[in-house]
Amino acid sequence: MKDLDHQLQGLLDADLRIHPMNAWRRVDDHVFVLTEGDEFLTIDDPVGLAVWSCLDERPHSAIALTDDLLGRFDVEREVLQADLVEFLETLLTHGALEVLADPTPAD
């Protein structure tokens, strides 16, 4: 459990969004993504599609995605968070997502 906590540390609170320079299209039960770096990704599993749909609506943190997806899938929170963080890290590594900068506090 300690490893999971460490793995989640960086993504739990960060707001993520679909990278605005990507070209992507949803066709039936698939999302096809062409990243700015010319990488081609296919998302075709139900959880991945649900994550992409949430991120298409607005930026989400891993915590917000976990809370939303728990209501849609029969899975334990710890298992979902671990899988979700792995999936988000993969999308970030390939340039499909970006981390939004923390808003600057108003003076």
pLDDT tens digit sequence for 32-63: 999 999 999 999 999 999 999 999 999 999 89
pLDDT at 106: 46
| Percent helix, strand and coil across the chain, each to the nearest 5 | 45, 20, 35
Angle 8-70-98 from CA coordinates, rounded to 5°: 45
Mean pLDDT of 53-80: 93
> Nearest 5°: phi and psi at 11?
-110, -10
pLDDT tens digit sequence for 84-97: 989 999 999 999 99
Calpha distance 106→36 (Å, rounded) = 33
pLDDT at 7: 41
**97 - beta bridge partners?**
18
pLDDT tens digit sequence for 13-33: 789 999 999 999 999 999 999
Other Cβ atoms closer than 10 A to 39 = 13
